[in-house]
Structure 1
Amino acid sequence: MSSETGSHDNVSDHDPNEKLPERRDEAHEAEKDPGHGAEAALAEDPFRDPGLPPHEHRIQDVDERAAKRSERTVALYFVISMLATVGFIASYVAFPIEQIVYIWPLGHISALNFALGMTLGVALLGIGIGAVHWARTLMSDVELADERHPVEAEPELKRKVLADFRQGAQESALGRRKLVRNTMFGALALLPLSSVVLLRDLGPLPEDKLRHTFWEKGLMLINENTGEPLKPEDVPVGSLAFARPEGLEPEDHEFNTEIAKAALMLVRIQPEDIKDKKALDWSHEGVLAYSKICTHVGCPVSLYEQQTHHVLCPCHQSTFDLSDGARVLFGPAGHALPQLRISVNDEGFLQADGDFAEPVGPSFWERGA
């Protein structure tokens, strides 16, 4: 009995809150390293949320001189981007497109393409590096944890998101770091100029080429099928013929470019059936000459209905009345087919009395009403 009592006394005399030596060591380690306890807990339960590690301040957070150095570094990258954009535009003007240079290890390449690629790459790289360096050194890097929310947010959550956004904008120091802000805006404002300059590579400026065709006063109408000049009797009533300007030959280098605007169709209608007075005045003995280019997207108009004097574009079914100034009856075409004023020369061949009075083909932004 005495031994049992002594044993019982030993147990009861022990303080249950007293830490055993092993537990004292663990507590001591946890005090020295706050993450030690989290690691131990994670080892016991691998599915337990370990939480966020303790936040470590950057040197820029505690030393304003270091922050200023980072600000100047970010601004330097943005300035490099701006200078590269200016270099891009200058390269486009300075280097002729035919100039070839040798650059190791690329070999012989276009000086213009190399200069444009390098300057544009540096411009984009400067903005990217500046933004990353800004985010890593000057913006707030405090870790935040938030729970997932339904797609349709509650009003309270919306207010929280807006508040977080305002807080993030404030912590980004965009308003306080004026040097970073101004150089970033300058780089972003100059960079789109590169795209504007690249539009020049779409081709030469049209100038007034859209308003004029190969036709001019005195040029005979040449039959597209026979290659011979046309006379009024070559276009019988109810028929449709196609013509090109005299002097424009299929073997010419610019033939496709010019015929795309100058293609002509001829139709002969009894003069009493022509409703539009201007169309009648510009015809010769009922022979009417209209542009063959549809005013919707430029398809060749070619399907003629003899009884109604309607002509149909096969692409999108725009329908024009040739007896009434080729006005649009149906379809997406925006305006009537332009008419070419014709007459006959001393030899009895049909000839143009000038160019079309208005641009042919689809509408464009500079075209007048």
Structure 2
Amino acid sequence: MGDHNHGDPTTSDSVAKAGQGQVEKFQDPGLPPHRPRLADKDPRAANRAERQVAVLLTISVIGTLLFFFGYFAIPLDESTTISTLRLQNVLLGMGTAFAMLGIGVGVVHWAKTLMPDHEIAEERHAVRTEEDRQIAETMVSEIISESGIKRRRLIRYTLIGAGVLAILPPIGILRDLSKNLDPAVLGHTLWKEGTRLARDPEGTPIKAADVTFGSAFHVIPEGLNELHEGKLDEKAKSVVLLMRLNPEDLHPSPGREDWAYNGIVAYSKICTHVGCPVALYEQQTHHLLCPCHQSTFDVTQQCKVIFGPASRALPQLPITVNSEGYLVARSDFHEPVGPSFWERALLEKESGR
């Protein structure tokens, strides 16, 4: 007869018991073996890597100069066309991309090929403020010394040149935010009583019957496309979004009961946060979304802000229909369009503060 206890988990070795075979402490595997890089062994490889880093930083400099060429050499005035504006945007975008990419890739390549890559391990230590400061100071000194920036003059000079030039494009952009810019320009648009609503960009008038439930139209004032001067500026101020809802879903405030027509409403397309174009309409929720910073506006509540950084509702354009059934404006906007700081500046100017 065999052993009756065969297979019993309390006596069989086929099942591990608690504590059986446990290791009291994990063994420290130690640091992996150091593999020197080619630049560590061959001075010619190190010099070649240094030149590669300098080339990448020079690309950053070229990108910054390309940005300035697009910013200053291409004028924007009343005669500016869409193609000219697109060319400038390409130059600004490519210039900024190369300026940032050149510095980023150059520094990474520098660290991977020339800076020391030895492995170290140190024990945790108690944090003491003064000791911590001294350790941090020592670490910074060691990093500067090990980076080789003091002895590698070619990298040092190209890095300084690329870094100094890279901060200039933002300064150039902020230059346009001058305090001398009159905020009153956003207080009035091309909309006026009787102006027909037209599709953007075709410029064809819109009849109320064309606007179905759930639809959304990008709208400009009729005649905008015929302008020869200030066309882009006027469009930037005047463009609106046109939607049709069930009239029972709208909740107009007192005095705005006749600003819509059979559930058709029109609101400024310019986000009241920083002026991005509000471009997405959710038919089921009746929400308008700004793609830049996710500000969300409720069309049923006069486009009040329900999410995001925008601080006020989108301005509403009062509309009605004419005798031919075309949608027309009742008047201009009753408040400045655009970011909220424009409105505050305008009000301060009008009040003399």
**TM-score of the two chains, using structure 2 as the length reference:** 0.46
**TM-score of the two chains, using structure 1 as the length reference:** 0.44
Question: Quick one: higher RCO (CA 8 Å, sep 6+), 1 or 2?
Answer: 2
